[in-house]
Chains A and B, each alone.
Chain A
Amino acid sequence: MHNPEVEKHPPPECRLYHGCYHWEQVGKEAAWRKLVDQHPFNAKISLLMPDLPSVPADLRELLTQDTQFYRIDKLPLHQLCAPAFLQAFLNKGQVFGLSCDTLLDTDNSAVIAPDGLLRLLLNKFTYQELALSGSLSADILRTPMEKFVVEVDLKNPNFYPGKPRYQQVKNAFTQLPLAFSFWILWVPNDPDVCPSSIAKYFHDLGYSVSECAATLSQNVLEKAFMPFPGPPVEEAGLDEQIAEPEDLLEWIGCQTLGIRLSQKESVLSGVVEPRHGTPVNNLCCAQSSGFFSPSLIHLLIQYTRSWLAQREATAVPWVSLTVYGHPDSAMSWRWEKPSCSSWDNLYTLVITREHLLAFMLLGPGKPQRLIAQSHNGVLSCGETAQGSKTLLLSPNTSLPSPITQGALVVCNKVYGKLILEVGGVHLRARQVTVVIRATSTALRMWWCSSATTEHSGRPRAVIRCPTGSSASAMPSSYSMCLTQGRANTSTRLERLGLTCMAATKGLAISW
């Protein structure tokens, strides 16, 4: 207690599962189909396609045309139990619902899974007031008792007025008017029915409904060197050329971020060009964020497969599709025991002509404390061209002397640039050592700042990765060392910055 641990914070565990499937496999062998189907709430899709100077029109149409979803403000939960809603929408299609603007660690959140499960993740007081029974969340550490899970099966054949369970649920929701703002998507079973009728239904009931569409952005790299994805072929000599799954994912992530890879591992960067691969031109990285259903992902897979078949093998070796889940959703994967976590949940599919490689990235397996990731609007205006995620992090502050300057460092990480905000009234110019620990390399940089003062009195420096240097690392932890610098009136950024982590590996944020 007297010497709190401020230096050693191991990064949270990140699990990677991968598998290789043949296209002709069906049934239980095609586990990738289950993977896509069991990830109901897809917030962002990222496609990596070589030999494509710009996103073709039909792909653009596929991603933006039919992908409207609706945002309903302050929908009370007893509306979801109304028999009209159940009959007209829930039983005649798939309803995807996600509560927006709720942070997973502080607020109550709710999701509606496509198979009719309403899952609420509630704080202690709300759970005690709501008269439904639930359990402590399995993904969140149980002491102190924080979050409770209440699950209601809306598609149960016994769930209609008159039955005791229905009455109980309805009474509980009416007595405690728990209302969330939902993002709702309805995929009807009957293709003739227009999906916007759900919006009309709620609009007629008097709730404010707004239509949202998916956004699309792209990033084209002129020359790139794509590694071989595998699976291993029997011919001797080619086995070593296959990239490891982690390396492949790292490469895909680097391309998504626009990190330029160098040939050799230097002191600045631990990520290098793949040793064996095919050179391609015009690698296009298209990113679309919105609210997608798994059926759209299947359509995308079909589309890329047919597109791949039309192209030559040398120009287009493979295509990758990465799907991210929403970070604040109360359900990330719909397994028998639905799980949620505040870490990254995503999966990547690498589509070749013969095989499909699937990589699934999960957070830690053990229950975690709910701390530390506040995503301020992943789907809203904080996006740069590369799809940013503003993370509020506070790296390990190892201070050489007891809190001398009252400085608390907040790191805002936007992919592509690192914004360091040093708080403290008397802070004029400080020397800050940022040590980014990658798996093997360490990167040290100094900066003196006194840049913009958006927050009054708080100097803030934006460190960008200039296109010339390839300073990037795969940091697994960082620590910041705040030393007392001389009162330096120099106001220029001294050294160059570093970009942030690849998009695919779980972000290891250490506290």
Chain B
Amino acid sequence: MKLARGFCDLNISATDTDLKKTLLKALSLGYQTLAINREVTDTLEQHQKGKKRKKDDFPSVPPPPKVTLTKEDLDRHGITKEPVILTRITITYADPGSAFLSKFRNSIKQYDIIAVTPTTDSALKQTVSQTVVDVDIIALGPEERGTRFARKLLRLAVERNIYFELSYGPCITDSTRRQQTITLSHVLHHSFRSANIIVTSQARIPSHLRRPYDVMNLGKFFGLTDAGAKAALVAMGHNVVYFAAMRRQGVARCAAQVTLLKNTNGQDDSIAKYEGLDDARKYLKTQNA
């Protein structure tokens, strides 16, 4: 189980050409935990009513990309710390009724981090309630309609330890994207005071990357405080990786066993098992009463 260390950049787009260069650049800038992102879009074709989608219409989910960085690569760029490289998949889909997620559940589960970009309200509802697949990050994409996200859903997501992503990479090139990202960040701030936010780069080429301290400064424009901006890179990133790993391990159940060692009367009472702490407390109350 790989845990995150240092500064995290959890969205580096997996293009075929520049991936290694981008990774090395990010590591030399100071990030230590990187996640290679692969985007999969569930294309919703305008099919006629009634017809079911054929099997060919589904886009396929490729297996996770593997990148090895040799020691010489690291030395050449002066990277002293050991990098942690994870894999991530971002699924964009609109229709919660489509069978896409359940069909490819196994291949999706091979990735370390699962992110979702829902484009409709109902899709958002499905991801938050986490029926089909466990989601770690919700990356809300650029939306033409303004604030359509229901605050209750967003708050519910925060309670369930789902993190929201703000990426600054597209902001560098495109000014409309910039405005949309800032609007989105304001919305998130209004909804839940920017509690569970990570900032990522979504970098396709190495020059989209920025140093972590610069990104922390940029976080101020995204409505984060100083501490929040630092947390968005460090602590929240670590949390995302940790929760993702825990989700893959499975639901943790804990059983409590309460044993009474000795009765207050001095006799050895038989060791009794109780169903839970409440029962034990009730027993103690009856004892003391």
Contact = CB atoms under 8 A, between A and B. Distances in A.
A143 B81 CA distance: 27
Given A107-B6, A141-B227, A370-B230, A392 B171 contact: no
A404 B173 CA distance: 10
B19 interface: no
B227 A106 contact: no
B171 A425 contact: no
Interface in B1-16: 3, 5-7
Interface in B135-153: none
A425 B204 CA distance: 13
Interface stretch (A1-9, A240-248, A347-355): A1-9
B238 interface: yes
Interface in A105-125: 105-107, 123-125
B29 to A, nearest CB: 9
B216 interface: yes
Interface string A112-146: 00000000000111000000000000000101101
A423 interface: yes
Given A106-B6, A144-B235, A369 B230 contact: yes
A374 B32 CA distance: 14
B268 interface: no
Interface string B207-219: 1101101101110
A410 B211 contact: yes
Given A1-B186, A369-B227, A511 B217 contact: yes
A393 B6 CA distance: 18
Nearest to A129: B3
Interface in B179-200: 182, 186, 189
B64 interface: no
B213 A392 contact: yes
Contacts of B221: 4, 403
Interface string A161-184: 000000000000000000000000
Contact of B213 (A143, A369, A372, A424): A372
Contacts of A6: 220
B247 to A, nearest CB: 16
B207 A456 contact: yes
B189 A406 contact: no
B3 A125 contact: yes
Contacts of B218: 408
B80 interface: yes
Nearest to A458: B207
Interface string A358-382: 0000000000011110100000000
Interface string A415-431: 00000000111000000
A443 to B, nearest CB: 22
Q: Name B's interface SS.
A: helix
Contacts of A141: 227
Contact of B214 (A143, A146, A410): A410
A151 B236 CA distance: 27
Contact of A423 (B5, B32, B210, B227): B210
Nearest to B193: A1
Contacts of A479: none
A511 B214 contact: no
Interface in B61-82: 80-81
A408 B207 CA distance: 12
A371 B230 contact: yes
B172 A124 contact: no
A93 interface: no
Interface residues of B, number: 37
Given A4-B223, A125-B3, A374 B30 contact: yes
B235 A403 contact: no
A362 to B, nearest CB: 22
A101 interface: yes
B238 A4 contact: no
Contacts of A107: 5-6, 81
Nearest to B242: A125
A56 to B, nearest CB: 37
Q: Which residue among B81, B178, B217 has the maximum number of chain A CB atoms within 10 Å of its CB?
A: B217
B13 to A, nearest CB: 16
B226 interface: yes
Contacts of A372: 213
Contacts of A370: 230
Contacts of B182: 402
A394 B206 contact: no
A453 B30 CA distance: 19
Given A106-B234, A369-B226, A406-B178, A1 B172 contact: no
Nearest to A404: B175
A143 B214 CA distance: 22
A457 interface: yes
Nearest to A392: B213
A101 B217 contact: no
B230 A424 contact: no
B227 A408 contact: no
A397 interface: yes
B231 interface: yes
A167 to B, nearest CB: 24
Interface string B85-106: 0000000000000000000000
B230 A392 contact: no
Contacts of A1: 186, 189, 223
Given A408-B218, A425-B172, A425-B207, A144 B227 contact: yes
B211 A456 contact: no
Contact of B226 (A123, A458, A511): A511
B89 to A, nearest CB: 24
Given A144-B235, A369-B227, A403-B221, A394 B213 contact: yes
A394 B171 CA distance: 19
A222 to B, nearest CB: 38
7 contacts: A1-B223, A105-B234, A106-B7, A107-B5, A141-B227, A406-B178, A425-B208
Interface of A: 1-2, 4-6, 101, 103, 105-107, 123-125, 141, 143-144, 146, 369-372, 374, 392-394, 397, 402-404, 406, 408-410, 423-425, 455-458, 511
Given A101-B81, A397-B217, 12 more contacts: A103-B6, A106-B234, A143-B227, A144-B227, A371-B213, A371-B226, A372-B213, A394-B214, A403-B221, A404-B175, A408-B210, A425-B172
